[in-house]
Amino acid sequence: MDLHFGDSAPTDEERAAVDSLLGPATSAWEGAENRSDADLRWARGGREARERRDLLLPGLHAVNDRVGWISEGALAYLCRRLTVPPAEAYGVATFYAMFALKPRPAKVLHVCTDLACAAKGSAQVCADLEERVGAPGAAAEGFAWQSSPCLGLCERAPAALVLQAGTPYDTVPAQRDPRLRDVGASARATGQDRPDEGPDDGGTTPVRADPAANGAVVRPLRPVVDGATAEPAPRRQAFAVVAPATADALVDAATAPEDAPDEPSAALAVPQAGQEGLILLRRVGVVDPYSIDDYRSHGGYTALRTAFDIGPAGVIREVTDAGLLGRGGAAFPTGRKWQATASQPDRPHYLVCNADESEPGTFKDRVIMEGDPFALIEAMTIAGYATGAHVGYLYLRGEYPRALRRLENALTQARLRGFLGDDVLGQGYAFDIEIRRGAGAYICGEETALFNSIEGFRGEPRSKPPFPVEKGLFGKPTAANNVETLINVLPILTMGAEAYAAIGTENSTGPKLFCVSGNVERPGIYELPFGATLGDLLDLAGTPTDIRAILLGGAAGGFVRPDERDIPLTFEGTRAAGTTLGSGVILVMDDTVGLPRTLLRIAEFFRDESCGQCVPCRVGTVRQEEALHRIKDRTGAEASNDIALLREVGQTMRDASICGLGQTAWNAVESAIDRLGAYK
């Protein structure tokens, strides 16, 4: 491999951003500014450098977080450091929506226009914004705004996220005095019942630019030294969540994200917070998400001790007996997956937690990670122990900065207390977790695409077989589980498989989280045992009388009619009713947006998010969007030709696409035509 890096040089800031992740370059071979005599004698790089390919995505994040976009010089420098061909790195960088390869302002405002936010008036917000600051993409008033797919803030729709690039921080959040945090928060708290971690939203909380530095191989971050630090106040990395959003609040937040009002506690997303009988949500809003002691005083880390008592095979037996099915959408038996991974002779094994929650209308994983982050760390440790993995990767959605900070803090604290590391709880089991951040690609929620993304390649799904339990991350046996699936393991171990299996129905055991949003009185995450009906859930959330449609399972799910309240919310019940539970989305829509417009938004979503690898999905999603655009104001015979076209293209996408994205992209639209009588 004779790499060709071009002539563009990185700026000092870009070089510092990359070096903060990888350490300074040690030779001219990897891009050091001055060539030494030794460089002339020995070539460096080669296989050792190429084995760090998985640091490409964290490296792109480091530059993008620091500067706001990735220049030719920055990309070339990163490629030199990692011995990655620039064409490939360019292919990877252009794959992700959150990276820009053209100059843009350091502040970018992402305004969600997806289903739940559209139902709550995001169109008006965008129109107001356009009037005030101009068209999307254009830089005005120091920031650029763009519309965004679902940000996972559906309970507070319409939502928006401001991301400001700037200098990172080096302080470990865990070392901050919690009292100081409370003081800081209450001084600026704006009426919420529980002061949350104000400072991190306000930009004074330490931020680590490098999620990879949390990993088993800890690459110490050093204070960044560059010209900018000589200035009195360098622009710092910050974010602000504005939800519910108005154009005025957005302009304020985008102008000065550090000064934006604090985000309310994660508990606000859980209407049942603090109620008796909750299993998965019992700690959300009750414990301090920053304190491992508080977690432990609320029953934390008892499941891990049980796991060590009964051994890996015992854990797998309990999980299998409990009948736990994957909660990410595919409902695969978790015990079988773990058993299949654990029994592979090939080593090492990996554990991957899929926290790339991007299905429109889904926000349960965010609420768990923000409200009870230690639970996920504990559950991952148990899963790693059961499957024989010593490294766990937590692939977190790029649009979840608050969850990132809380998880980083949780990892640091767990390491300090011996709950992660070379010898977990003195049991002789080594396990650590690395957070990898996505960068705006729905497809990376597909497990094999997620592996490619972690490995530093384009997030394109692989064809199966071979399955991940056999050849997954880095080609090794891998157990990949969703956040909600993993945290279900805790009650299975603490209450026992039998007691757990007694919850719910025979084929769908345990509690389930539902993401209720749209036109309901009390949107949020609800926990109900499997077996509750759609009507039960809607009564809890409070629905208006003029519902037009209910979307189950997100954009890849299906619509049902408001009169189908008797559908049992179980895997088998929804299947029997010809629909799907998917990721647990219950999105309630009245008539304000209109069904054709909603369906068009779903088609736009899949067109934008198709990775482009296979023809049925790459071109099929475009043709479907075109057809839905043509018939948005038509009905009956006028629409019938296009509906026939949609059906045939949809069937081909379902039959011939490589992965689940293409195979399910037509589901929701089809169900709207067949079940709701759209375009009749």
Interacting residues toward another protein by CB under 8 A: 1-4, 6, 72, 75, 85-91, 94-95, 97, 101, 441, 458, 463, 607-616, 618-623, 626, 630, 645, 648-649, 651-652, 654-658, 663
Closer of 327 and 623 to another protein (Cβ): 623
The distance of closest approach from Cβ of residue 101 to another protein in the complex, given in angstroms and rounded to an integer, is 7
Residue 155 vs 356, nearer CB to another protein: 356
Instruction: Give the rounded distance of the alpha carbon of 410 from its chain centre.
Output: 17
User: Which residue, 90 or 474, has its beta carbon nearer to another protein?
Assistant: 90
Contact (CB, 8 A) for 280 and 303: no
Closest contact distance (angstroms) between CB of 104 and another protein is 16
If residue 13 lies in a helix (H) or strand (E), which one and from where to where?
A: helix 12-22
CA distances from 233 to 6, 208, 229 (A): 34, 18, 8
| DSSP assigned state of 461 | P
Tokens 């760390």, residue? 377
Q: What minimum distance in Å lies between the beta carbon of 1 and another protein?
A: 5
Distance (Å, whole) CA 212 – CA 105: 26
Taking the chain, what is the end-to-end CA distance rounded to the nearest angstrom? 59
CB of 450 to another protein, least distance (A): 16
- Least separation in angstroms between CB 67 and another protein: 16
Quickly list H helices, 423-581. Answer: 447-454, 483-495, 497-501, 534-541, 571-576
CB of 55 vs another protein, minimal distance in Å: 18
Closer Cβ to another protein, 405 or 607, answer by number: 607
Cis peptide before 511 (omega within 30 of 0): no
Q: Which is nearer to another protein, 416 or 622 (CB)?
A: 622
* Minimal distance, residue 161 CB to another protein, in Å: 20
Residue spans of beta strands (DSSP E) within 566-626: 585-589
User: Quick one: 454 or 486, whose CB is closer to another protein?
Assistant: 454
Give the position of tokens 């299906």. Answer: 558
Between 278 and 614, whose beta carbon lies closer to another protein? 614
Is residue 129 within 8 A of residue 111, CB to CB? The reply is yes
Strand pairing report for 432-437 and 389-396: parallel
HSE of 475 in the Cβ direction (CA atoms, 13 Å)? 0
Least distance (Å) between residue 351 CB and another protein: 27
Q: How far is the CB of 56 from another protein (least distance, A)?
A: 12
The backbone torsions φ and ψ at residue 664, rounded to the nearest 5 degrees and listed phi first, read -110, 0
Q: Which one, 361 or 662, has the nearer CB to another protein?
A: 662
CA-to-CA distance for 377 and 391, rounded, in angstroms? 12
Report the nearest approach of another protein to the CB of residue 470 (Å).
14
Give 320 or 610: the residue with its C-beta nearer to another protein.
610
Residue that is written with structure tokens 């957005």 in the block: 250
Q: What's the length of the chain?
A: 680
Cβ closer to another protein: 401 or 461? Answer: 461
Distance of CA 463 to the CA centre of its chain: 23
Please list, residue by residue across 507-530, b when 16 or more beta carbons sit within 10 angstroms of its beta carbon and e when fewer do. ebbbbbbbbbbbbbeebbbbbbbb
